[in-house]
A and B are shown apart, each in its own frame.
Chain A
């Protein structure tokens, strides 16, 4: 392998590949609920003091100029409500469209910004490579944005953009509650608080209905495949792990040391989960999974409990994450939803 490529570049790409989407690393200060107020972000309207824990709907633009500390710990100041926004994460694109701000999005990262469909016709700023590890700075600048909305990572290009006077706002959603909290924060930053309130209460209601449905069910053991050969899964601290637990499952990977661990097939066979979930990102089909060496011994395979999960729904920290939760819950507990 030595002569084929530069390892550092690949390592970076690999990390992106494994945690593609908007997955994020564990954060010790995960909020416990959407109503507990800002925990990973603090908001201060420079014209008022305090009163940030329960953002109230405000007339357009009243809170600006606005200074908000983002999840990178950077103080971001916006003089006026942004109207030209570049997103550099599919989840950020989805959030803005769900807030009704789709027409303000002037640039997206790349071909993964595929939802809603209208996002596909927006210019892409992804740099070299389809993963768009870094945005193309020239392209971003040419779009003349007044806000770049993105997820964690990429300190270098973020610094470069800030240096050029373009505000960069980062969210790092560690679990479902944090997603709703971060949508709320994005609502403040983009002057769309009422829409954010409506969106997050809708999401919270959907999450509650899943919770109600599975609460009477006993948890089943499960395994979530992120990628195969080598096998990668999710562990505590990952976004998907949180969803799995909410959907009524005890992943057999509870002792994993990191959020996206590699896993041995031997351990998988020994632990023999009841339900086997495959991320669509993994590239295989249910039939592929069932035909792998040794997999025919898994209870999940023998009892047709292998399910393909749309990775966009469970790995993007956006509004559709509650659909992902519902999809997981349906797979894990079909009886709770009337078969």
Chain B
């Protein structure tokens, strides 16, 4: 146990360092090359440490209006997705659970698409889409939960199946809607692919409080989730109010996923991958996984976003594609390696 604690602390230190490195790289690199020294001096100036460095105004704009909010947004979205993934995996006691599986992502996507189609894409600087995505996700989470409820109990398998079915229906509806969406199909297409470009500070202001409060609230669920991992009956015997815990976990996970999806579009794999990777390193204790997700989720998405905007600059790869294409094989590699070492994947 002591060794596990040491391992956890070491991991947290490494993750914190990686996060700082990711932020620095994210702000320092982009389509327009800006020397690291210039970026540092601009930050020093903003912190009132030095006089304004002699750089063109455009460089200042690029760093503070385009890159910094984007990096921070990637961080917040990554955190939201990772914590949501952790909650869903804990709830379903299933490593395959993520926001997409129970239909939350589809609900968010459909909500957003409806607003885009109604010509509301520009409302509140794009926040109309965010709000609709959010509403869509919560509605789906609620519907799925009600569908899965048989008598007083909600069985996890039923919940999972209901989620998959609702997600499939949503996808069908979306395809139909898209085939008749005319000129808006491009907006919808790119929204579904996911991305963080040109969201600015406004999106950050909306999503940050939700993700931070949601993550803090998740802290109250980690003990119950640990017990839930032993099975519902065991957990109930140990004093967990099983149904209440499941309800709260579902609501909180949906809230976090919806907040993330609402500003970034559909970004797969981060919610699935992050808790998984961490579980391989520090074990299945949710009390440790939660803070680790808070550090690792942002790092992963900031780096993925960096890749999306620099690999083929000045063009951008869709962020959702990057997380899947780069993250997937890496994830599989780790899984294979760990399976050899431990003989199985812990849940």
Query: B121 an interface residue at 8 Å Cβ cutoff?
Result: yes
A307 to chain B, nearest CB (A): 18
Give the chain B neighbours of A98 by CB distance below 8 A. none
Binds B, one of A23-31, A149-157, A267-275: A267-275
The B-contacting residues of A in range 1-23, CB under 8 angstroms, are 1-5, 10, 13-14, 17-18, 20
Bound: A128/B168 CA distance, A? 22
Say whether, besides A230-B316, A262-B314, A267-B314, A128 and B179 are in contact (CB < 8 Å).
Answer: yes
Query: B186 an interface residue at 8 Å Cβ cutoff?
Result: yes
Give the chain B neighbours of A272 by CB distance below 8 A. 58
Of the residues A1, A14, A264, A285, contact of B314 by C-beta under 8 Å: A264
Bound: A269/B61 CA distance, A? 8
A271 to chain B, nearest CB (A): 8
Tell whether, in the assembled complex, residue B189 and residue A294 are in contact, meaning their CB atoms are under 8 Å apart. Answer: no
Of the residues A130, A228, A285, contact of B198 by C-beta under 8 Å: A228
Bound: A230/B175 CA distance, A? 21
Give the chain A neighbours of B182 by CB distance below 8 A. 111, 130-131
Binds A, one of B40-48, B62-70, B208-216: B62-70
B128 to chain A, nearest CB (A): 12
Query: B30 an interface residue at 8 Å Cβ cutoff?
Result: yes
Query: B194 an interface residue at 8 Å Cβ cutoff?
Result: yes
Bound: A285/B197 CA distance, A? 19
Chain B: CB-nearest residue to A285: B122
Tell whether, in the assembled complex, residue B268 and residue A264 are in contact, meaning their CB atoms are under 8 Å apart. Answer: no
Give the chain B neighbours of A18 by CB distance below 8 A. 186
Chain A: CB-nearest residue to B64: A294
Tell whether, in the assembled complex, residue A1 and residue B58 are in contact, meaning their CB atoms are under 8 Å apart. Answer: no
The interface centre, meaning the residue of B121, B187, B266, B315 with most chain A CB atoms within 10 A of its CB, is B315
What range describes how many residues of A lie at the interface?
Answer: 35 or more
Query: A288 an interface residue at 8 Å Cβ cutoff?
Result: yes
Contact digits for A117-136, partner B, Cβ 8 Å, 1 yes 0 no: 00000000000111100000
B147 to chain A, nearest CB (A): 19
Tell whether, in the assembled complex, residue B314 and residue A263 are in contact, meaning their CB atoms are under 8 Å apart. Answer: yes
Bound: A228/B126 CA distance, A? 12
Query: B324 an interface residue at 8 Å Cβ cutoff?
Result: yes
Query: B220 an interface residue at 8 Å Cβ cutoff?
Result: no
Bound: A79/B331 CA distance, A? 64
Tell whether, in the assembled complex, residue A2 and residue B324 are in contact, meaning their CB atoms are under 8 Å apart. Answer: yes
Bound: A312/B293 CA distance, A? 50
Tell whether, in the assembled complex, residue B171 and residue A3 are in contact, meaning their CB atoms are under 8 Å apart. Answer: yes
B24 to chain A, nearest CB (A): 17
The interface centre, meaning the residue of A17, A111, A227, A261 with most chain B CB atoms within 10 A of its CB, is A17
Query: B195 an interface residue at 8 Å Cβ cutoff?
Result: yes
B109 to chain A, nearest CB (A): 7
Give the chain A neighbours of B122 by CB distance below 8 A. 283-285, 288
Tell whether, in the assembled complex, residue B179 and residue A129 are in contact, meaning their CB atoms are under 8 Å apart. Answer: yes
Chain B: CB-nearest residue to A227: B186
Give the chain A neighbours of B189 by CB distance below 8 A. 10, 13-14, 17
Of the residues A131, A231, A291, A293, contact of B69 by C-beta under 8 Å: A293
What range describes how many residues of B lie at the interface?
Answer: 35 or more
Tell whether, in the assembled complex, residue A293 and residue B30 are in contact, meaning their CB atoms are under 8 Å apart. Answer: no
Query: A266 an interface residue at 8 Å Cβ cutoff?
Result: yes
B34 to chain A, nearest CB (A): 9
Bound: A220/B178 CA distance, A? 39
Chain A: CB-nearest residue to B202: A293
The A-contacting residues of B in range 209-248, CB under 8 angstroms, are none
A contact patch SS: loop
Tell whether, in the assembled complex, residue B316 and residue A270 are in contact, meaning their CB atoms are under 8 Å apart. Answer: no
Tell whether, in the assembled complex, residue A1 and residue B65 are in contact, meaning their CB atoms are under 8 Å apart. Answer: no
Give the chain A neighbours of B31 by CB distance below 8 A. 264, 266-267
A158 to chain B, nearest CB (A): 22
Give the chain B neighbours of A263 by CB distance below 8 A. 314-315
Of the residues B174, B198, B320, contact of A292 by C-beta under 8 Å: B198
Tell whether, in the assembled complex, residue A264 and residue B30 are in contact, meaning their CB atoms are under 8 Å apart. Answer: yes
A18 to chain B, nearest CB (A): 7
A14 to chain B, nearest CB (A): 6
Give the chain A neighbours of B139 by CB distance below 8 A. none
Tell whether, in the assembled complex, residue A20 and residue B58 are in contact, meaning their CB atoms are under 8 Å apart. Answer: no
Tell whether, in the assembled complex, residue A5 and residue B175 are in contact, meaning their CB atoms are under 8 Å apart. Answer: yes
Of the residues A5, A17, A270, contact of B186 by C-beta under 8 Å: A17
Tell whether, in the assembled complex, residue B175 and residue A294 are in contact, meaning their CB atoms are under 8 Å apart. Answer: no
Of the residues B32, B183, B194, contact of A267 by C-beta under 8 Å: B32
Tell whether, in the assembled complex, residue B201 and residue A293 are in contact, meaning their CB atoms are under 8 Å apart. Answer: yes
Bound: A5/B188 CA distance, A? 12
Tell whether, in the assembled complex, residue B61 and residue A4 are in contact, meaning their CB atoms are under 8 Å apart. Answer: no
Chain A: CB-nearest residue to B310: A264
Tell whether, in the assembled complex, residue B62 and residue A266 are in contact, meaning their CB atoms are under 8 Å apart. Answer: yes
Give the chain A neighbours of B100 by CB distance below 8 A. 3
Give the chain A neighbours of B167 by CB distance below 8 A. 3
Say whether, besides A264-B30, A269-B58, A270-B58, A17 and B313 are in contact (CB < 8 Å).
Answer: no
Give the chain B neighbours of A294 by CB distance below 8 A. 61-62, 65-66, 198, 200
Tell whether, in the assembled complex, residue B183 and residue A269 are in contact, meaning their CB atoms are under 8 Å apart. Answer: no
Of the residues A131, A261, A262, A297, contact of B185 by C-beta under 8 Å: A131
Bound: A285/B65 CA distance, A? 21
Tell whether, in the assembled complex, residue A283 and residue B187 are in contact, meaning their CB atoms are under 8 Å apart. Answer: yes
The B-contacting residues of A in range 225-248, CB under 8 angstroms, are 227-231
The B-contacting residues of A in range 174-221, CB under 8 angstroms, are none
4 closest A-B pairs by CB:
A293-B200, A264-B31, A130-B182, A294-B65
* 20 extra A-B contacts, CB within 8 A, seeds A229-B197, A266-B32, A269-B61: A1-B321, A2-B324, A4-B266, A5-B178, A5-B192, A14-B189, A131-B182, A230-B190, A261-B314, A264-B30, A264-B313, A266-B31, A266-B62, A266-B67, A270-B56, A270-B59, A293-B69, A293-B201, A294-B62, A297-B58
**Between-chain CB contacts (< 8 Å), 14 pairs:** A3-B106, A10-B189, A20-B183, A111-B182, A229-B195, A230-B195, A265-B198, A266-B62, A266-B314, A267-B31, A267-B32, A269-B58, A269-B61, A293-B199
